[in-house]
Amino acid sequence: MNDLTFPEIERNPGTAFDLGWVESLRVNKSAIERRTATLPARRTVKKDWQAAWLMRAIRCMDLTTLSGDDTRTNVLRLCAKARQPVRADLLESLGLPGLTVGAVCVYHQFVGTAVEALQGSNIPVAAVSTGFPAGLNPMALKLKEIDASVRDGAKEIDIVISRHLALGGDWQALYNEVKAFRTACGEAHMKTILATGELGTLTNVARASMVCMMAGADFIKTSTGKENVNATLPFSLVMTRMVREYHEATGYKVGFKPAGGIRTAKQSLDWLILMKEELGDEWLSPNLFRFGASTLLGDIERQLEHYLTGQYSASFRHPLG
């Protein structure tokens, strides 16, 4: 798992809307909860393998700042950390001096700042859009926001769906909305945020996932990170199984991004194991898997130093940038 290059993935062009397929989806909540409850205890990785998996977690990380008090300085520091996510001496000892994160995710206001700071690094900038986090802006403004971020250099757009459409079962309207967002994104890859904690049921999560993939989503993403409940293993299991079903039916691979609440290295391993078991090794790459993270990186860096030295370090030894 130590390589730094990954094969290109053919983009999902979407399919025609199929209400019958959507309404046929049902989720057995108790079975999902039993499956995810056993995963952290049943699968563990240790020593060299753990270090390798944690480095892969870094490579699949969208390093994120989405706070109301974000500043240009904060974003510049974040981009510096994205270029060198782990202290240089540790990366040299680990044999991966060129390790970087998957992307940097910011509000539209700071897209230009991040693009400039990351020039020459091949690290894409992702912009949250469409009235993030609530997604209640007028449709015309949502499309203009996407267009503005793409023009400023964002290579990935994280859109939020209108939750009321999923809660009301208006799947055709949700399909039309997401399809319009995909058109506005153009060459920029689109991640659709479902806000799973606000969708009411696991069956709604499954159906919303499928509708977004039908509409051309490149990734489906659990949460904005601003909801009361964000990424959980049950939500993630449902979404990954929808990714698998869509791939089996269409031949197109769609990525998955859990976001919100994943703060420790151990938690990141749980999600990597879930991806390996449900979707296979190909989905353990930044082309098809991302963590939305702001504090996760610090704990992973501390774990990697412990792997090399046998001692845990203070957090100030691993600054943001």
Catalytic sites, residue numbers: 158, 221, 257
CB contact set of 275 (below 8 Å; sequence gap of 6+) = 240, 256, 283, 284, 289
Burial 91-121 (b: 16+ CB within 10 A, else e): bebbebeebbbbbbbbbbebbbbbbebbeee
Q: Are 304 and 86 in contact (CB under 8 A)?
A: yes
Q: Are 74 and 82 in contact (CB under 8 A)?
A: no
Tokens 């990597």 correspond to 272
Calculated CA dihedral for residues 284, 131, 261, 123, nearest 10 degrees: 40
How many angstroms separate the CA atoms of 250 and 230, rounded?
Answer: 29
- Between the alpha carbon of residue 139 and those of residues 107, 142, 167, the distances in Å are 18, 5, 18
**Three-state DSSP state, 138:** coil
End-to-end CA distance of the chain: 26
How many angstroms separate the CA atoms of 160 and 146, rounded?
Answer: 11
Helices 233-250, 265-279: crossing angle, 10 deg rounding: 30
Q: Are 158 and 118 in contact (CB under 8 A)?
A: no
Tokens representing 174 are: 């949700």
Sheet holding 255-257, edge to edge: 255-257, 219-221, 189-193, 156-160, 125-128, 103-106, 61-64, 291-293
**Three-state DSSP state, 257:** strand
